[in-house]
Structure 1
Amino acid sequence: MRKINWIANYRIVMISLFLFSGPYLQGEARNPPADAAMNTSLLKQETLQTAFEHLQAAEVLESAYIGKAGAPSENLQDLRIIIKSSEAEPTLFALYEKGNLTAKMYAIIGLQLLQKKDQAQALITDAQQFPEEKVTTIEGCLVFDRTVQEVLKAIEDGYYVESFGETR
């Protein structure tokens, strides 16, 4: 009986060492709260980068809900990720600078949603250098090719801010 207790205790000690001392035996200092915060921060940064990349290459300016089923727009979801980040304003300016024409429209709308009206207006003025360029838009299940002037007019009139703002 005494031998059985010794073996059971030995197993418990070995399992405990294995489960709880792994990082310390390898010389790794661990701070679970700090590690969790760092992982969350990295995840948010990766998510922001992915949203930026999607919008940077967006081919269509989508209304809040698209398709026959009225599914939420993926581009709107990406724009929301950017707007909710602590780096929203510089990210939107980078989107305007580096993105295609559709991305530029999303950047302007994003600034309007952040209530940065002066910055949005400056970008609208800059975007007017492409008056006859076309932007493909989707409203519900309808697809349109509109000139930049038409899209900028809708942006200035608050169409996108109103429809995107309703879905926050």
Structure 2
Amino acid sequence: MYVTAFSLSLPLIVATSLALNANVPATRFNKYVVINTPVTYFEAWRGCQYYGQQLASITTREENEILRELLSKPEYINHTYWIAGTDIGREGQWVWITSNEPVVLFTNWGHVGPDDSNIQDCMTVGQFADDRTLWDDVDCEKMFHFICERIPRKPVSRYH
């Protein structure tokens, strides 16, 4: 069964699952959700939003280790995944599309860094066999699976 979201067809995922339930606090065991549907970068961005999440931003070594655990599972070994990094706004100036924050505090580029090619403006993980958490810059129109991240919920005060 498929749900159409912003002209994007994604497999229907049970909304009450712990991984996609926005009311369940994020832990290291459910922080990231892999969506095994190949789409373009912007379809992945909108797909995560459809599920009440955001495309994953890996901003610390701790988050990278959680990602490493996830990508080491057998069902995720042979795929490349979109994450939230992009320099589509200004070539060579990488930001997380989900926050518009620069990618500077933690980086994990494969090889020596991004190629800074005019068509390689979106970030993936999973392409390097020696370390699947290394980042690569690729053409945003390529089709890859994607990783969503649970959006941290701010506590709601009943008093103003």
- TM norm structure 1: 0.31
Larger Rg: 1
Structure with bigger RCO (C-alpha 8 Å, 6+ apart): 2
- TM norm structure 2: 0.32
